[in-house]
Structure 1
Amino acid sequence: MRLITQALNLFRGEQRAINPSWQGAALIAGNGTTAGKAESLSAVYACVSAISETIASLPLILYKRVDDDGRERAKGHPLYRVLHDQPNEHQTALEFREMMQAMVLLRGNAHAEIGRGADGQVTTLTPLLNDRVTTLQLPNGRLAYDVTDGKGNVRRLLQEEVFHLRHRSDNGLVGVAPITASRETVQLALAEREHGTSTFSNGARLSGILKFPQRLSNDQSNQLRNSWESQHAGGANAGKTAILQEGVEYQTVSMSMEDSEYLASRQFSVEEIARLYRVPPTIIGDLRHGNYSNSVEMNRVFVVHTLRRHMTMWEQAISRSLLTDAGRRMYFAEHNVEGLLRGDSTNRADFYSKALADKWMTVDEVRQLENLPKIDHAQQDQAAPAQPAQDEAGPDQVPGTHTKTQ
């Protein structure tokens, strides 16, 4: 089917989408702020790391449907190894999924080239750099991707040859990253950081003016400015005493850091960026509102309201791009999040106790969730001590005694 589609496209011709938002979605517009520069903010880096590292570390299992509601791991399927073990010769499954998820969060899209075996099954997934991928729309409505290598050569991949993850989209075809949709929030945080860096690099002294009673020539002004900066600018000159002569006065013309509430604005920027990624502030190290009583609940909120969207994105994209129509009816991919949701030992014990009492879980299922081996019931029965047999006794006879017959 793919060969037929390629042949038809040769005769139909191809055209680029006119919509400029289709071009890669890589940069944040304004002030030359790139996704890499945005990630230099600790809050952005922490949010991206919290989501991508957690998603990548969760087991992603390919299951096979059995009977009506049953399922089992499809370890014999080639895609199982690609998702669970190693997607390509250079990366482990964790490294690949962490990279792809981070690209989605920073650039809105992540692409990987699909490699298939002779039987058409997926055998490799190789990530593509976002800055080198341009999305196109063919006349038949399907997508294609122009991929540029380091030498400027361009090759075209069809929709069936690319595994595409996207964040929330404006057109349903190309995703938009949170830092792109709300670029002003990131730019404000960058401006606040640069303000603090500039202030402390100048010895925590804010800008001001020198007032002279007489007029200075241009040469005198330049010499005085250079002399002042060499003696009083920079962290190495912090705390030095300035000596002013001939009626010269120094006057500050900038707000103090207390007047501009610098620290409060920096803390608010952390909350703003955490809000963009829907990450609880306690997850990225802002513990002002965290305590022992709500830490478990914050982890649950992180899984339900932050990770679930991205896990569903992976699972549905796998079904769409990596399985055939027949395969989708038989196989499906799913993350295992039990380890994140089970809470502390007290809550787990109470949960398992109720599950065993209501008989909707077995002891072996509980032990499996706790990474314990199954119980060998045959060996357990052999090791159990034999119970002493009791003879039938009459109403006036003590059990275990015998009556001698005359």
Structure 2
Amino acid sequence: MPMMRRILSAIGLERRTWSNTGMNGWPELPGPSVVTPATAQGVSAVYACVQAVSETVASLPLVLHRRMDGDRERATDHPLYRVLHDQFNPELTALEGREYLMACVLLKGNGYARVVRGWDGQVRELHPIAPDTVQVRRTPAGLVYEYSDGTGTLQRLLAHEVLHLRHRLADDGIMGVSPITAARGVIELALSEQDHGRNTFNNGAKLLGILKFPGKLKPEQRVAIRDSWASQHAGSANAGRTAVLEEGVDYQAISMSLEDAQWIAARQFSVEEVCRLFRVPPTMVGDLRHGNYSNSVELARQFVTLSLRRHLVAIEQAIHKQLLTEAGRRTYFCEHVVEGILRGDSANRAAFYSSGITAGWMLPSEARKLENLPVIEGIDNQPRQDTATPAPLPYPSKEAAA
């Protein structure tokens, strides 16, 4: 056919290749995106959830305490206090190291750090290990961790030489399972929706139509026509160009927009799906459709109690089990300080402190300490008022406004 010869000669200047050719010469579309920790973070909701949890956990003060006859005090003289609170090792701060381990737990299910002890058996340094390089084996003597260092040498560590943080425990009783592994289909759907939007806009922000031919085409003719049409009309640079058709070819446009396909609504629902995986309120990752003044404080509290609490307790228990000696466990314990992110505004804090001081279970000096204010000598001996400051109403009533 003359038209086919002209098309074949025209595409000689530009031929686009496809990896696979399917039935009757039509190309096979790429399969579903492979979900890995790297590709999963390409979904903004996944990246935001991981950052919200890991950054918050790492920024919370992690304090080693010493038990003191029913009371406690900060064990600032213990070597582990500095490692957990200030500096992981000479190259990493405590925040950087803890943030990396928490991100590994969320994305890969496991976080590892090599433990360096001093002559007295106390922890002096923690060095994070990439989870992809670690193999955990169960032996009669206990767990053995094998990993490849930067030089390619295989290193073997015993259980007491590794800080191992897990997400939900797998069936083998050793490894943890990450949310993106347990719910891979959710991430695949989000990636597919993202690819659909990108490809749609790359192809001119509209769906193409159908080319109707009067006769049957050979497989090579179909490939040639497809490549020729794509080179002349696909892409945003070719948007709006007029197609010239010959030899009885008919073009039928498909009138289906992104709104018709509910693409935007599907993208918004994917954000909620991802947040559900990581147990993070959508408002914490920038989805403010359901956030307002009334529930923002409650959502922040739920973020600590429902999203972070499990991770905080898991870290504290892992440190108690793997970084303290047998004698140290009877004297020391570590705990995250979460009061800073649970506190409300200044009016609510003032009402809380006032009620505690009036009831007698808090001293004024303790309230000043919680507010990071300097010590005032003798403040606890000053006479106190008998009435507590009432908590402020969330909204002024109409009667008060009148």
1:38-83 CA-to-partner distances (Å, cap 9, x unmatched) read 0111000000000000000010000001112x10000000000000
Distance 1:254 1:266 in 2: 21
Partner of 1:6 in structure 2? none
Distance 1:221 1:129 in 2: 48
Residues 362/210 of structure 1: CA separation in 2 closer, same or farther (3 Å cut):
same
Structure 1: 5+ residue stretches without partners: 1-29, 382-406
Q: Which moved more, 1:341-350 or 1:101-110?
A: 341-350
Partner of 2:236 in structure 1? 235
Secondary structure class of the residue paired with 1:293: helix
Distance 1:102 1:111 in 2: 11
In the TM superposition, 1:272-351 aligns within 5 A as 272-351=273-352
In the TM superposition, 1:375-390 aligns within 5 A as 375-377=376-378
Q: Which moved more, 1:216-225 or 1:340-349?
A: 216-225
Q: Which moved more, 1:31-40 or 1:282-291?
A: 31-40
Secondary structure class of the residue paired with 1:87: strand
1:78-98 CA-to-partner distances (Å, cap 9, x unmatched) read 000000110101100110000
Q: Does 1:52 align with 2:43?
A: no
Distance 2:220 2:342 in 1: 71
Residues 67/219 of structure 1: CA separation in 2 closer, same or farther (3 Å cut):
closer
Partner of 1:143 in structure 2? 143
Residues 255/330 of structure 1: CA separation in 2 closer, same or farther (3 Å cut):
same
TM superposition score normalised by structure 2 = 0.82
Q: Which moved more, 1:206-215 or 1:99-108?
A: 206-215
Distance 1:238 1:245 in 2: 21
Distance 1:217 1:102 in 2: 52
Partner of 2:250 in structure 1? 249
Counterpart amino acid of residue 158 in structure 1: L
Partner of 1:126 in structure 2? 127
Partner of 1:35 in structure 2? 37
Distance 2:328 2:130 in 1: 29
Partner of 1:67 in structure 2? 69
Residues 330/255 of structure 1: CA separation in 2 closer, same or farther (3 Å cut):
same
Distance 1:219 1:305 in 2: 58
Distance 1:356 1:206 in 2: 68
Counterpart amino acid of residue 264 in structure 1: A
Distance 2:82 2:220 in 1: 73
Distance 1:42 1:186 in 2: 11
Higher relative contact order (CA 8 A, sep 6+): 2
Cα deviation for residue 153 of structure 1 reads: 2.2
Q: Tell me if the contact between 2:206 and 2:257 (Cα under 8 Å) persists in the aligned partners.
A: no
User: Whose Rg is larger?
Assistant: 1
Distance 2:255 2:170 in 1: 42
1:103-148 CA-to-partner distances (Å, cap 9, x unmatched) read 00000000000000001110000000001100000124x1110111
Partner of 1:193 in structure 2? 194
Structure 2: 5+ residue stretches without partners: 1-31, 383-402
Distance 1:99 1:300 in 2: 24
Aligned pair count reads: 349
Counterpart amino acid of residue 40 in structure 2: A
Distance 1:367 1:94 in 2: 26
Partner of 2:168 in structure 1? 168
Partner of 2:373 in structure 1? 372
Secondary structure class of the residue paired with 2:89: coil
Distance 1:280 1:98 in 2: 20
Q: Percent identity?
A: 58
Residues 151/355 of structure 1: CA separation in 2 closer, same or farther (3 Å cut):
same
Q: Which moved more, 1:121-130 or 1:203-212?
A: 203-212
RMSD: 2.0
Secondary structure class of the residue paired with 2:293: coil
TM superposition score normalised by structure 1 = 0.82
Counterpart amino acid of residue 99 in structure 1: Y
Counterpart amino acid of residue 227 in structure 1: S
In the TM superposition, 1:345-364 aligns within 5 A as 345-364=346-365
Partner of 2:156 in structure 1? 156
Counterpart amino acid of residue 238 in structure 2: N
Q: Which moved more, 1:223-232 or 1:177-186?
A: 223-232
Distance 2:276 2:101 in 1: 22
Residues 218/128 of structure 1: CA separation in 2 closer, same or farther (3 Å cut):
closer
Q: Tell me if the contact between 2:64 and 2:334 (Cα under 8 Å) persists in the aligned partners.
A: yes
Partner of 2:204 in structure 1? 203
Cα deviation for residue 240 of structure 1 reads: 2.6
Secondary structure class of the residue paired with 2:351: helix
Cα deviation for residue 258 of structure 1 reads: 2.8
Cα deviation for residue 344 of structure 1 reads: 1.2
Cα deviation for residue 218 of structure 1 reads: 6.6
Q: Tell me if the contact between 2:34 and 2:188 (Cα under 8 Å) persists in the aligned partners.
A: no
Partner of 2:9 in structure 1? none
Counterpart amino acid of residue 314 in structure 1: I
